[in-house]
C-alpha cells in the first residue's frame, strides 16, 4: 500500500514537473516576444528622434539635403553639422544591425532599415562621409555596408526629392 502511494506520488510529481516546464516555455516565449518588441520600439524611437531633429529645423533639413546631394558646396560649419546628423543615423542603424543579427529585431523591420540605408548610400555626400568615418564602426557592420546592394530598386535621395518637388531639387 505504501509502495502504491509512493508510485502515485512519483507520477503526480512527474506531471507537475512537465506542467512547470510547459509553463516556463510559454513564459520564455512571451518574454522573447516582449524583448523583440521593446528592441524594435527603441530602434524606432532612436531613428524618429534623429529624423525629427532634421525635419523640425529648416536649417538642419537644408544642410542634410545639401550634404547628401552637393557635399562640395558645404561650408565648414555645414559639413560638421551634416557629419553629426549622418553619424547619429548610422549609429541607430548599426544598433539595428546588431539587434537583427542576434534575433532581437524582426527581419521585416530590418528590411525597412536596409532599404532606407540603401537610398542614403546612393548619395555622394553619404558615400564620402562613409569613406572617412567607416573605422568608427564595428568591422561586421563595415562589411555589411561595403556589400550593401545598391541596385536601383530603392530610389536615391536625389530621385525622392525630385519626385516630391515634381522637378529638380532646389538649390540648397
Q: Answer yes or no: are the C-beta atoms of 114 and 147 closer than 8 Å.
A: no
How confident is the model over 27-68, as pLDDT tens digits?
Answer: 777 777 777 677 667 767 777 787 788 888 899 889 998 999
Q: Answer yes or no: are the C-beta atoms of 138 and 94 closer than 8 Å.
A: yes
77 pLDDT above the threshold of 60: yes
In the chain, the N- to C-terminal Cα span, in Å, equals 93
What is the predicted pLDDT for the residue at 105? Answer: 81
What is the Cβ-side half-sphere exposure of residue 85, based on CA atoms within 13 angstroms? 26
Q: Answer yes or no: are the C-beta atoms of 85 and 63 closer than 8 Å.
A: yes
- Cβ burial of 130 (10 Å; 0-12, 13-18, 19+) is middle
**3-class secondary-structure state, position 131:** helix
Gap between the Cα atoms of 113 and 100, Å rounded: 10
**3-class secondary-structure state, position 47:** helix
Domain-wise residue ranges, the chain: 37-165
How confident is the model over 99-110, as pLDDT tens digits?
Answer: 888 888 888 888
Question: Radius of gyration over alpha carbons of the chain, in Å?
Answer: 25
Q: Answer yes or no: are the C-beta atoms of 128 and 66 closer than 8 Å.
A: no
Gap between the Cα atoms of 32 and 75, Å rounded: 47
Q: Answer yes or no: are the C-beta atoms of 113 and 82 closer than 8 Å.
A: no
Region of poorest pLDDT, from 17-21, 75-79, 109-113, 154-158? 154-158
Q: What is the average pLDDT score of the chain?
A: 82
Gap between the Cα atoms of 78 and 3, Å rounded: 85
Amino acid at each position: 500500500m505504501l509502495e502504491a502511494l509512493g508510485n502515485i506520488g512519483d507520477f503526480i510529481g512527474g506531471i507537475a514537473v512537465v506542467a512547470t516546464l510547459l509553463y516556463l516555455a510559454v513564459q520564455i516565449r512571451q518574454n522573447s516576444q516582449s524583448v523583440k518588441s521593446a528592441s524594435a520600439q527603441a530602434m524606432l524611437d532612436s531613428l524618429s528622434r534623429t529624423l525629427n531633429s532634421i525635419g523640425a529645423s529648416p536649417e538642419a533639413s537644408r544642410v542634410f539635403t545639401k550634404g547628401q546631394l552637393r557635399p562640395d558646396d558645404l561650408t565648414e560649419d555645414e559639413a560638421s553639422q551634416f557629419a553629426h546628423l549622418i553619424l547619429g543615423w548610422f549609429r541607430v542603424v548599426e544598433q539595428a544591425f546588431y539587434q537583427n543579427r542576434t534575433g532581437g529585431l524582426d527581419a521585416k523591420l530590418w528590411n525597412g532599415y536596409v532599404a532606407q540605408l540603401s537610398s542614403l548610400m546612393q548619395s555622394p555626400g553619404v558615400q564620402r562621409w562613409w569613406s572617412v568615418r567607416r573605422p568608427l564602426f564595428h568591422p561586421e557592420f563595415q562589411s555589411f555596408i561595403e556589400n550593401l546592394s545598391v541596385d536601383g530598386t530603392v530610389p536615391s535621395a536625389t530621385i525622392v526629392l525630385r519626385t516630391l518637388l515634381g522637378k529638380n531639387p532646389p538649390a540648397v
